[in-house]
Amino acid sequence: MAKTVLVVDDDPTQRRLLQAAVERAGFACRVAPDGESGLDMARNPSDGVDVMLLDLVMPGLSGMDVLERLQEVRPDLPVMVLTASGSIDTVVQAMRAGAIDFFVKPASPERVVVSIRNALQMTELRGEVKRLKKTASGELSFDDMIASAPAMRQVVRLGQRAASSNIPILILGESGVGKEVIARCIQGASERAGRPFVTVNCGAIPENLVESILFGHEKGAFTGAVSKSPGKFVEADGGTLFLDEVGELPLEMQVKLLRALQEGEVDAVGSRRPTKVDVRIISATNKDLSQLVGEGRFREDLYYRLNVFPVDMPSLRERKDDIPALVQHFIRRFNASEGTKVSGASASTMALLNAYDWPGNVRQLENMIFRAVVLCEGDELKPEDFPQLASLAEELPDMDIGESGSSDLALTSASLQALQSDEMFDHPVRVTDTAGELRALEEVERDLIQYAIDFYAGHMSEVARKLGIGRSTLYRKVREHDLRVKPEEDEAQAG
């Protein structure tokens, strides 16, 4: 999605020139004829202003007044001022009021565009630094999460409830869904915010070192113990210990973990006395612990001790509404770390990403965006920047992409010809109504899909192939239009 630049100037000629330069550079542009309306646009979230070009001398609310008021409502908004007078006093006053750059009219379009790009990059860098600081200090909150999809609302609600107590939490979900992120947000929303958040990947620790890493050891307790180690429980004292992939713990360590949780103390290897700890436990797994209990590979008493407050994280394919925001988030992050200047992803790219099933979930999306940002040669990510999805891109038809960037079933020229072919006359899908007027695209689309389902006896793979769309898109359309599908296909769809 293109960044939006707001031009505030009372001179209509200047507004037109700046708007042309901004749009030619690939940015969206809004214009305001005075300071009051410009201020309203800047603080209105629906306008989505990312950068402001502000004339200093205007009737009514002057540019300096706008700068002062912006410090109260949008202190993070980068503002570049325009002035007919390039006096040092004017520039210094504007910079002190919050401007990040200035131009003397008439401003060079190239200079304006370069300044806009630099301002956006600095905003991304500041955002990334802020995120890293909050992560490192244990103050990440639910407001920092990308969780607008309906499937994530229950997760956020449960996380917020759990944060208000010290109840043990078990986060369930596939690998790569972001279980650690929700754990950090629970910590940041709790009274333990700002205290240690210690992560232990139970599946990555050598079996003979699990006890030492979790509970610590004394110097000389075993061969190679050349110094004392406090262990992860002591490191997390006062804060949160996140046990990732807890289902991988060896059985003998599960006994000692259970005792540590029950007694609130740990026995370091080689120590003569236990150490009291105050630790909030959040564990996570991508396995079915109840099944492991039945197989004798996980202790039942430990399972009930950990599974007091379960939180189910949905997979990325269950929360595809979050993909656009996640893509933009990762682009900003990699712009900051790699020094790139990718503004976003094209509509066709977003259609491609939405059509994929993401077996590796958010982690896979993050890695794909990283590679795409490195490969990208323009301002936007294009489908060719995702060579891993080349086969999927070939299967997708030419899509009619709306302003939202989401792809719907498009009536391609082949589909329109099919509507009028001899084969369709026995069961026609009418393009016009009884009055001879064109029917709404949605109605024609619904009838066409229903006809295809009936024609191919509910074989959804064949229906999707003949219509030139992916199965996931077809099933979404079936749900949206409440279409008739054979029972056996309903089961396949549910699965």
Contact (Cβ atoms closer than 8 angstroms) between residue 231 and residue 212 = yes
In 10 A of CB 169, how many CB atoms?
Answer: 26
Digit-coded pLDDT (tens) for 326-359: 998 999 888 888 888 888 888 889 989 998 999 9
Contact (Cβ atoms closer than 8 angstroms) between residue 200 and residue 244 = yes
**Integer Cα distance of 485 and 144 in angstroms:** 41
Q: DSSP letters of 310-322?
A: EEEPPPGGG-GGG
CATH architecture of structural domain 408-495: Orthogonal Bundle (1.10)
Position 1 pLDDT exceeds 60:
no
Digit-coded pLDDT (tens) for 368-388: 999 999 988 888 899 889 988
Q: DSSP letters of 181-245?
A: HHHHHHHHTSTTTTS-EEEEETTSS-GGGHHHHHH-B-TTSSTT--S-B--HHHHTTTSEEEEET
Mean pLDDT of the chain: 83
Digit-coded pLDDT (tens) for 189-200: 999 998 999 999
Q: What 3-state DSSP class applies to 248? A: helix
Predicted structure pTM score: 0.65
pLDDT tier for residue 435 given thresholds of 50, 70 and 90? low
- As a whole number of Å, the end-to-end CA separation of the chain is 34
- Which backbone phi and psi does 55 adopt, to 5 degrees? -75, 135
**CATH topology identical between 142-314 and 408-495:** no
**Integer Cα distance of 361 and 384 in angstroms:** 21
* CB-side neighbour CA atoms (13 Å) of 245: 13
Digit-coded pLDDT (tens) for 90-147: 778 888 888 888 888 887 888 888 888 888 888 877 777 777 787 777 777 888 888 8
Contact (Cβ atoms closer than 8 angstroms) between residue 253 and residue 302 = no
483 closest CA partner among 450, 458, 455: 450
Q: Across residues 427-434, what is the average pLDDT?
A: 65
Range 316-405 classified under CATH 1.10.8.60: yes
Compute the CA torsion angle 203, 207, 212, 218 (nearest 10 deg): -160
Q: Across residues 259-278, what is the average pLDDT?
A: 90
State which of 82-91, 121-130, 210-219 shows the largest mean pLDDT.
210-219
**Long-range Cβ contacts of 94-103 (<8 Å, 24+ apart):** 94/56, 94/63, 94/64, 94/67, 97/64, 97/67, 97/68, 97/71, 98/67, 98/68, 98/70, 98/71, 99/54, 99/67
Domain ranges of the chain: 4-129, 142-314, 316-405, 408-495
Q: Which residues pair with 32 in a beta bridge?
A: 8
The CATH superfamily of 142-314 is P-loop containing nucleotide triphosphate hydrolases (3.40.50.300)
The pLDDT value recorded for residue 436 is: 62
Position 412 pLDDT exceeds 60:
no
> Using CB atoms within 10 A of its CB, is residue 272 exposed (0-12), middle (13-18) or buried (19+)?
exposed
Q: Across residues 154-180, what is the average pLDDT?
A: 93
Position 400 pLDDT exceeds 70:
no
Of residues 421 and 84, more confidence is placed in 84
Q: Across residues 58-84, what is the average pLDDT?
A: 87
Contact (Cβ atoms closer than 8 angstroms) between residue 400 and residue 410 = yes
Counted residue by residue, the chain has a size of: 495
**Integer Cα distance of 14 and 25 in angstroms:** 17
* The CATH number of the domain covering residues in 4-129: 3.40.50.2300
- Which backbone phi and psi does 62 adopt, to 5 degrees? -75, 170
Digit-coded pLDDT (tens) for 464-493: 888 888 777 888 888 888 887 764 444 444
The pLDDT value recorded for residue 415 is: 40
> What percent of the chain shows pLDDT beyond 90?
34
Q: DSSP letters of 1-20?
A: ---EEEEE-S-HHHHHHHHH
The pLDDT value recorded for residue 177 is: 94
231 closest CA partner among 265, 190, 192, 180: 265
271 closest CA partner among 225, 236, 306: 225
Only one residue has tokens 């060896």, namely 250
